[in-house]
């Protein structure tokens, strides 16, 4: 099992480096490629990959200090992946104090059997040094933003951005929260059964949960005997694994029965399935997404959750949508930088640059304008992102209100977040360090 897990982890990290894939996509691709079916091996590989990627800048700085004058980037992808995993497992897991020579030797043997002894020979001379090198050495000759970036595992440009936006102390607290995965939340599906019945079924399967105050069907997972996706309740569609912030976005939309909803950027289905649940499968939901692969996932989730009032449409909302539907409510959750979800998706930190925010904001601007055309008079437009940047949130909304005076901000109950920045008090923000979920922004706009 250990060899399979390390093989998966090395290969997945290599795919992530080569194709800029997310953790989930890289692992899924690797599992399929290698034909590994051992669930324990896959779980261990997932943990190794996520926790190594989370600390990537710190690990690379530590390795480069040992390799001088060489750098980790000079080796092939398999060796790079192994070195990062090796430092995580032998040093970080041991809190940099205990040195387990036997474990280190066993990991080296594993790597030789996976990568080949000739490949590994290039770096074997530094494996011992990596066991004894002091991590403090990486903080020499770095400025404040770089030091905080290394301590909280973030790129220096993002640390600087957060300092400017939130102030130094608040930013550090936020960045520290990203060093941990947020809690897991589920949303009970009352399309399939009464909530009391679902709670009883979950208790029978040893899934321990706690109600999220102010939200209707969201629960925090406290413990589970088996992976949630392998339980009978999950297969039967009795719950959806969905972050608290995402549940809040659907509840903030608060769709009425029998209305027409346009759900834009709908895949893989979290929003659609919750909107349908709140609408009790009445009315109509037109779910739009550009990705056929993601819409195939959407279709399977729609079926699993018992949704009957949703129609899939393949279209790219960056362009004018190819239909004339006028909706009572348009819900837009556009692609974003995911800066609010670094705790859950650590690889996103290393794919972004400061320019990524501006590029993404321009895409979001095009999408929200295209969506505005499909809101009926008296209708509502709900805009949300899992980003904490101003450019993707408040500045988009300010610009939209100037260009579309027929729209105005509406109150969003319940008030589970904090008021948005730049005076947009009717919009809400959620933060990882305050609300124990993904960072999130939501705005609700009414059309006169």
Which backbone phi and psi does 206 adopt, to 5 degrees? 60, 35
Q: Strand, coil or helix: what is 261?
A: strand
Diameter over CA atoms, the chain: 71
Q: Residue holding tokens 């040195």?
A: 99
Give strand ranges (E) for 192-322.
207-211, 218-224, 239-241, 260-264, 284-289, 310-314
Q: Which of 289, 258, 254, 270 is nearest to 382 (CA)?
A: 254
Q: Catalytic residue positions?
A: 386
For residue 428, what is the DSSP state? E
Q: What is the distance, to the nearest Å, from the Cα of residue 203 to the centroid of all Cα atoms in its chain?
A: 28
CA distance 308 to 418: 35
Between the alpha carbon of residue 399 and those of residues 19, 393, 402, 403, the distances in Å are 34, 10, 5, 6
Please classify residue 127 by burial: count the beta carbons closer than 10 Å to its beta carbon, then call 0-12 exposed, 13-18 middle and 19+ buried.
buried
Give strand ranges (E) for 244-396.
260-264, 284-289, 310-314, 327-332, 375-385
Q: What is the distance, to the nearest Å, from the Cα of residue 431 to the centroid of all Cα atoms in its chain?
A: 13
* Cis preceding linkage at 79, omega within 30: no
CA distance 12 to 50: 10
Q: 130: part of which helix (H) or strand (E)?
A: helix 124-132
């Amino acid at each position: 099992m250990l060899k399979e897990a390390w093989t998966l982890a090395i290969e997945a990290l290599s795919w992530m480096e080569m194709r800029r894939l997310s953790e989930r996509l890289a692992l899924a691709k690797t599992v399929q490629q290698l034909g590994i079916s051992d669930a324990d091996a896959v779980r261990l590989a997932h943990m190794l990959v996520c926790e190594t990627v989370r600390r990537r800048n710190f690990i690379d700085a530590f390795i480069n200090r040992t390799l001088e004058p060489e750098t980790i980037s000079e080796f092939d992808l398999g060796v790079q992946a192994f070195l990062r995993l090796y430092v995580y497992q032998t040093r970080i897991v041991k809190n940099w104090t205990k040195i387990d020579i036997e474990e280190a030797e066993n990991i080296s043997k594993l790597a030789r059997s996976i990568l080949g002894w000739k490949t590994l020979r290039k770096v074997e001379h530094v494996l011992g040094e990596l066991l004894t090198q002091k991590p403090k050495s990486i903080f020499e000759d770095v400025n404040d933003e770089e030091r905080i970036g290394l301590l909280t595992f973030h790129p220096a440009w993002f640390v600087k951005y957060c300092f400017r936006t939130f102030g130094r102390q608040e930013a550090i607290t936020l960045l520290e929260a990203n060093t941990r995965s947020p809690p897991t939340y589920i949303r009970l599906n009352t399309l399939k059964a009464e909530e009391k019945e679902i709670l009883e079924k979950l208790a029978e399967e040893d899934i321990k949960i706690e109600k999220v105050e102010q939200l209707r069907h969201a629960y925090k997972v406290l413990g589970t005997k088996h992976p949630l996706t392998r339980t009978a309740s999950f297969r039967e569609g009795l719950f959806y694994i969905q972050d608290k912030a995402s549940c809040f976005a659907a509840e903030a939309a608060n769709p009425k029965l029998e209305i027409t909803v346009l759900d834009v950027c709908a895949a893989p289905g979290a929003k659609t399935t919750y909107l349908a649940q709140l609408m009790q499968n009445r009315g109509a939901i037109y779910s739009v997404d550009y990705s056929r692969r993601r819409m195939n996932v959407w279709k399977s989730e729609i079926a699993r959750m018992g949704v009957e009032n949703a129609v899939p449409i393949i279209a790219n909302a960056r362009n004018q949508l190819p239909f004339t539907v006028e909706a009572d409510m348009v819900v837009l959750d556009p692609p974003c930088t995911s800066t609010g979800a670094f705790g859950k998706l650590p690889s996103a930190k290393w794919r972004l640059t400061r320019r990524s925010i501006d590029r993404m904001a321009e895409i979001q601007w095009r999408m929200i304008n295209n969506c505005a055309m499909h809101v009926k008079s008296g209708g509502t437009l709900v805009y949300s992102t899992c980003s904490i940047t101003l450019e993707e949130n408040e500045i988009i909304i300010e610009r939209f209100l100037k260009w579309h005076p027929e729209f105005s901000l509406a109150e969003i109950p319940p008030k589970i977040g904090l008021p948005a920045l730049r005076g947009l008090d009717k919009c809400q923000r959620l933060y990882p360090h305050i609300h124990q979920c993904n960072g999130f922004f939501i705005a609700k706009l009414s059309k006169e």
